[in-house]
Chain A
Amino acid sequence: MDLENQKRVKELAEKYGPENVVVVLGAAEGEASGLAAETVTAGDPTFAGPLTGVQLGLKVYHICEEEMKSEVAEDIYEEQIGMMEMVLDVDDIASEMKSIRDQYCKY
């Protein structure tokens, strides 16, 4: 995850309390989604950014996961995400995300 984004996530979690923050990802595939999810839960796996060794354990979802999709008005979702839903391997992303949440999410 981009170092600047790590910094912003860390600051937002400190400001509002980690239990009140949900990170929504839009990465294009499972591996990248998993890495970003790991960064905001277990810490930066590349040991490069501000979240290195910081286990925030935040709630984290990909926008294509059912949990997020059900939160959005159907027509808006179709307009904004419908095309990408056809393109992405949603099952792979969802299973990667769930695996990270099961291991590291604290909330």
Chain B
Amino acid sequence: MVIYRHITISCFNYESNGGKLFCKPKILYADKKETVSKNQNRHDARLKKRGTAAEEICFAADILEVSMNSVIKATGYILVHAPDMVIHNGSTQTTERIVNPDSEYLKKLPQHIRSYEDALKYLPNQTYIGNMTPDDLAKFEQPWFDKTGDCADRFGKFGEIMPQEEFYLLMQACDVFDLLYLEKGFVDAAKPKLAAHPLMNESILGRIKDGVEMAEVEKFVNEEHAEGLYNHDKLVGYVKRAHDVDVNLAAHVIHENLVSKASSVLSILYAVKNSGLAPEDIDYVIDCCEEACGDVNQRGGGNFAKASAEIAGLSNASGSDMRGFCAGPAHAFIAASSLVKAGTYKNVIVAAGGCTAKLGMNGKDHVKKEMPILEDMLGGFAVVISENDGVSPEIDNSIIGKHSVGTGASPQAVITALVAQPLDDAGLKITDIDKYSAEMQNPDITKPAGAGDVPQANYKMIAALAVKRGDMDKAGLATFAEDHGMVGWAPTQGHIPSGAPYIGFAREDIMSGKIKTAMIIGKGSLFLGRMTNLFDGVSFVIRANSGAQTENSVSEEQVKGLIAKAMKDFAMTLMAE
């Protein structure tokens, strides 16, 4: 960050040619002789067209305004405890039931399912919703599943851990095609609990239907290919197929998509509440989960984003879905920040719901090692990205890492493209970034499954690259993960742990002055879709708001804002004349 103390503005170069004004905003700094506008070429081209003096000044003011970075206005992080969905919807379990229906694993599985209370006590879950920091979590020796801390609250500053019963009702509120029904007794018992929820308003609660008879539930599950909804091993509802023939609208798919949508809606509700904005202030939503909704003629047509925005009451928002496996969220953050910086939208939400298929994904190893099934949590997050408020941390669009088609797939090539290259371009060293957040999977889940400690593996790679490039001595390898990294705390829900879980803490850590910069890295395994063997990933940097950095100096963003305002005021007086 350069603080500019002496500023010379040479805005107007008059040409007497036909009374037109040639306007070229240019800010020269005493300690850095260069122009601000990166759009200078585009700007110059546009100027050749010429307009009236007032128009030109307004345009120049726009140029200054749009060069302000977007900010991380607020975040929402939610978990849903989904023990019965582990058994009935997790792909490891559904595959096992087909391949090996009498397996020991399926017999032992129910004894390893956690209660809601145990899920609340679980330290990584408390970290995800913001009741503990990653540093607090790191103080506990691993494994964590047999440890408890001081906090076992449902609600945290970022969001909450919702129990399965209430989530089924929220799923029904998200079903606008009359596909999900719940048994009468279940609705009667669960609805008052959801009605007491601080964020559930009448428009959401009003979407919950009266319960149906048990006979109807059984009929649809047994005879009509419906997906059963279970609570504590008891059938309590069903999701029916949305088409008799089209597999894209089969009950299984509709169930999966309603889960994703409902957990996204809950995340959005928290993010909007935490932002202090009204729901109507949100202009656009980008959904970055890994599901697809559509029918036989457009399998992944979309649009989860707009569907979720509707239920969350974002009446002025449109939206679209952005996909890239686990890299999806990082792509979406870059897109959202660009949309805001360009002035296209003022407030954009990046959101993602959770994934039923990944529940219990490593269950066989957990059961074999006499552990509880730790993958019983659906994850969700939403981040509000807004125009610069002079306070919140900024997304710096000038430092963007990108794994390109020609980059190559070796870990070295990947980390170089995502970390070293963008920092090089910005004249920074790897050690200049205070915290890195790549794949923040909870090691409690992955280590017993033989997948190692994923965040640590990333930090080791970044550190090794820093040594190879001469950014750091070899002695720094041992402490790099501690200094520039964190332990992982996110559920293994693919896109959920991918860089995004730290954004909430990064916002706090930057605003409290604990750190100045954080790099968020998303990586995606595109080969899973069988369309390309290419790897993928993108990264971006969050940094302290340049307006919030100093007390006495005027920041670049503030100067741009002031100049833009002054120029617009001047233009208005010209127009009035």
A residues bordering B, Cβ < 8 Å?
28-29, 31-32, 35, 46-48, 79-84, 86-87
Contacts and interface: CB of A to CB of B under 8 A. Distances in A.
The DSSP consensus for interface residues of chain B is helix
B464 A87 contact: yes
Nearest to B92: A48
Contacts of A32: 450-452
B421 to A, nearest CB: 14
Nearest to B100: A47
Contacts of A82: 412, 468
Contacts of A80: 408, 410, 412-413
Contact of A28 (B410, B457, B465, B477): B457
A102 B450 CA distance: 22
14 contacts: A32-B450, A32-B451, A46-B364, A48-B100, A79-B412, A81-B412, A82-B412, A83-B461, A83-B464, A83-B465, A84-B412, A86-B467, A87-B460, A87-B461
A35 B452 CA distance: 13
Contacts of A81: 410, 412
Interface string B202-238: 0000000000000000000000000000000000000
A18 B477 CA distance: 42
B411 interface: yes
A46 B100 CA distance: 12
Contacts of A31: 450
B452 A28 contact: yes
A52 B98 CA distance: 16
A79 B409 CA distance: 12
Most buried by A among B96, B411, B415, B465: B411
Contacts of A83: 411-412, 415, 461, 464-465, 468
Contacts of A86: 460, 464, 467-468, 477
Contacts of B410: 79-81, 84
A48 B464 contact: no
Contacts of A46: 364
B99 interface: yes
Given A82-B412, A84-B411, A84-B412, A29 B464 contact: no
Contacts of A47: 100
A84 B457 CA distance: 10
A68 B99 CA distance: 36
B457 A87 contact: yes
Given A81-B410, A81-B412, A83-B465, 8 more contacts: A28-B457, A31-B450, A46-B364, A48-B100, A83-B415, A84-B461, A84-B464, A87-B461
B467 to A, nearest CB: 7
Most buried by B among A28, A80, A81: A28
A2 B460 CA distance: 25
Contacts of B364: 46
Contacts of B96: 48
Contacts of B464: 83-84, 86-87
A35 B364 CA distance: 15
Interface string B455-476: 0010011001101100000000
A44 B481 CA distance: 35
A12 to B, nearest CB: 16
Contacts of B408: 80
Nearest to A88: B460
Interface string B94-123: 011001100000000000000000000000
A81 B410 CA distance: 7
Contacts of B467: 86
Contacts of B411: 83-84, 87
Contacts of B461: 83-84, 87
B460 to A, nearest CB: 4
